[in-house]
Each structure stands twice: as structure tokens, then as C-alpha cells.
Amino acid sequence: MLYGALEAGGTKMVCAIGDETGRILEQMSVPTTTPEETMPPIIDYFKGKEIRALGIACFGPVDLNQESETYGHILETPKLPWKGYDIVGVMKEALSIPIGFDTDVNGSMLGEVTWGAAKGLQNALYITIGTGVGGGIYSNGKLLHGMLHPELGHMRLVPAKNDSYKGKCPFHGTCLEGLAAGPAIEDRWGAPARELVGRDEVWEMESDYIAQALANLILTLSPQKIILGGGVMHQEQLFPLIRKKVLENLNGYLKTKELDDIDHYIVPAGLHDDQGIMGAVKLAMNAEEVV
């Protein structure tokens, strides 16, 4: 059985064909410019592929409420050409197949809980730290939605005493994204993360902020596993620092088997950066089941 997957990112959109095991059979990408330029080649790619359904894991904010008049639309995005764009409606009209829809980070969470590092768990957390910061939450066996959807990257943090940086986020300044995303690292230190590998002070500060956020999320959501992905988390030296500082932040308040084995509790993404596109395949599978 073949399913279509669209990982709609702010920089590029990845299109793929996968099967019910999550195996990606083929894929291609299109730069994210304007809907008028980006969408026609995507539609052409999926036409004639004999897919049973399509899953879309999309940058946001997006409307996930199926009872809403703007369900399937991209909402108040800083990517202005896409503001108000009905990505689900356009693809449904073009392909006439069931379509599953969620945020890009919820898609990654779904990929990890179906085939990756959180397989078999009922409660897990996926956070991507790259150009931006976002989070997907799997709670009691379901992706968490609500009034809208989680926006974990905009959690306000307490700045470090030795950090005078005002934050990169235009909305909140010193939120997790404003202090710890890739653009904040480059703005604060004058070079991208990949060029700062040997600068211990960079990663000490970065791990402080990530650990502070994770401690808050552990206390709020009680996940059984935390998965960290995105370009910044390719700096693998961060993981031991984050784990150590999470325990320091919790200060012995929680006693669980997961925290006792923290090396296997806070982990890298398990699907070789394919978690988003594989999650979109699963969104397609779920959409077909509903129909």
C-alpha cells in the first residue's frame, strides 16, 4: 500500500511516497517560496502515484480543528505569502483522496512514536531545535491539540546571569527559541553552531537553556521519553550536558526509573532525520482509517 507524505517546512517542502511500514520509497523537495511557485510541482509529483491518502506535516501556526471554517489553513505566520493559505483544501481538491494534517513537529513526534525512539510509549515529547524551536506532544496515546496546538519554543526562560543577550524572538525575546535556536546562537556568538564546536562556553549556555525548558516540561507533561532533534542537536556534545543539568534543575524532586536511566530518557531522534516525513506517512494512514 502506498501513501503520500508532505513535510511542509519553512525553507523547503519534502514530498515522499512511503508504505505502511514507514519505509520511504522515493522523495523530492521543493523550495518554500510562495504558494504560486511551490505548490504546482508538489501537486504534479503526487498525481498519478496511486497513493491511498496523503499526510501533511506543516509549519505553523495552523488550524487543526476540523469543525473550524479555517481547518487546514496556515494561520498568522511570519512567512507572509502563506498567511491564510488553505493547504489541505488545495491538496484535497487536486488529489481527491483522504488527507491527514498536523504540525511539522507533531508529525515528527508521530514518526518517532510509531517507528522510532518512542515506539510503543503512550506519553512522549519531541522537540526540534534548529532554525526555530518547536515541540510535538504525544499524551495518553494521542497527539496533543487544544485551543490550537503546543508552541513549546515560546516558553519564557530565566536568562543566565552572564548572558546579556536580549533574545532573537520578535514576540517574546527571551523564550526558548529566542535564546537557544540556531539564529540566536549565531547572533550571540557571531558564528553558526557548526563553527563553534570547540567553544565550551557556547554549549554550557545552550545546555542551560534547553535543560531549563526540559525540566519545566517534565514537571508539566510527565513524558516517558524526550527526543531532541533539529540541526542544533547534531552537536552531540550537548546531550550529556543537558542530562546533567536537567537533574540539577529537578533537584531530586522526582524519583522515577526513567530519570534513573537518563541516558536513555533524553535521547537523539531515532529515524536519521526522517522522522517528519515518516510521521506524515502515518498521518496519511490514520486519515485513510478514519474514512
pLDDT for the residue 289: 82
Average pLDDT over residues 8-16: 94
Average pLDDT of the chain to the nearest whole number = 96
Does position 290 have pLDDT exceeding 80, yes or no?
Answer: no
- Rounded Cα gap, residues 121 and 140, in angstroms: 9
For residue range 55-66, what is the model confidence (pLDDT) as tens digits?
999 998 999 999
C-alpha cell at 46: 503526487
Average pLDDT over residues 276-290: 94
The b/e string for 174-188 (b: 16+ C-beta within 10 A; e otherwise) is bbbbbbbbbebbbeb
Q: 257: Cβ–Cβ under 8 A, 6 or more apart, which residues?
A: none
For residue range 124-147, what is the model confidence (pLDDT) as tens digits?
999 999 999 999 999 999 999 988
pLDDT for the residue 107: 97
Q: Which residue bears the cell 557556547?
A: 202
Instruction: Determine contact, residues 63/42, Cβ cutoff 8 Å.
Output: no
Angle between the N-to-C axes of helices 275-290 and 104-115, in degrees from 0 to 180, rounded to the nearest 10: 90
Range list of H helices, the chain: 35-46, 87-95, 104-115, 176-180, 182-189, 200-221, 238-250, 257-260, 275-290
pLDDT for the residue 79: 84
The CA-CA-CA angle for residues 256, 262, 266, to 5°, reads: 115
Q: 199: Cβ–Cβ under 8 A, 6 or more apart, which residues?
A: 189
Q: Which domains does the chain have, with CATH numbers?
A: 2-107+273-290 (3.30.420.40), 120-268 (3.30.420.40)
pLDDT for the residue 77: 84
pLDDT for the residue 291: 60
Q: Which residue bears the cell 542537536?
A: 233
Does position 92 have pLDDT exceeding 70, yes or no?
Answer: yes
For residue range 152-208, what is the model confidence (pLDDT) as tens digits?
999 999 999 999 999 999 999 999 999 999 999 999 999 999 999 999 999 999 999
Does position 47 have pLDDT exceeding 90, yes or no?
Answer: yes
The b/e string for 116-136 (b: 16+ C-beta within 10 A; e otherwise) is bbbeeeebbbbbbbbebbbbb
